[in-house]
Amino acid sequence: MLEKRTQVPQNYDQDPEKFIYCLEGVADVEIDQFTEVQKSLEELALQFGVASIYQTCDTIEGLEESLNTLIMDDHYFKEYEIIYLVMTGEANSISLNGYNYDLQEIAELFEGKLRGKIVHFSNAKVLDLDEEKAQYFLDITNAKAVSGYGHAFNGLSSANLDKVYFNLFNEDDDLVNVVELLHEKHYKACKYLDFRMYY
């Protein structure tokens, strides 16, 4: 089983109301390295008090195992509001270790298991779903929403905007309010990265 790495500030409530579960696609899970994503999650914990669990995967089986372990074995699963996926890929797929997996395949792997969760993709991959594919993903997984960016990483990471987005969800559960506030406070970044949400 993969090691979970928790980012929680020392003075933070050890029984928090909400968590973020981050799964980052890497070339090799056996190589232990501190990534920019981990740094960003630590900052999120220290600045906003939002706790997270971080794991890596390098295969589709690793992705499935990590999420299934979370769903089946973690008694805090209901508190994970956001599943944060940091993986490369095209508009309707993710790429792990040179293999591409369509989001329909991912949806079918987690059929009915993501009830009420927001699945958020960093801009390591473009999220560009048509209405039918987005609705399929939501219907199959039971996720509340899927969000990400229309523009891929091109020298500008979505990490800072992601932190603001996650903190807004920590303060407000209403999808529409969060997206409106995000655009009000960070309009240029939302526009430049082409933030989008399907729900």
pLDDT tier, 15 (very low <50, low <70, confident <90, very high otherwise): very low
More confident residue, 83 or 15: 83
Q: What is the mean pLDDT of residues 139-162?
A: 93
Q: Is the dihedral of CA 195, 178, 22, 143 positive or negative?
A: negative
Domains and CATH numbers, the chain: 5-198 (3.40.50)
pTM above 0.75, yes or no: yes
pLDDT of residue 11: 44
In the structure encoding, which two tokens stand for residue 47, read together? 């600045």
Quick one: pLDDT at residue 2? Answer: 43
Q: How confident is the model at residue 8 (pLDDT cuts 50, 70, 90)?
A: very low
**What pLDDT was estimated at residue 149?**
97
In percent, how much of the chain has pLDDT > 90?
74
Crossing angle (nearest 10°) for helices 159-171 and 36-48: 30
- At residue 38, the pLDDT reads 96
CA separation (Å) from 185 to 76, 80, 132, 178? 31, 25, 30, 10
- Whether the pLDDT of residue 16 is over 60: the answer is no
What residues form DSSP beta bridges with 197? 147
Given a cut of 60, whether residue 26 has pLDDT beyond it is yes
Lowest mean pLDDT across 12-21, 49-58, 95-104, 121-130: 12-21
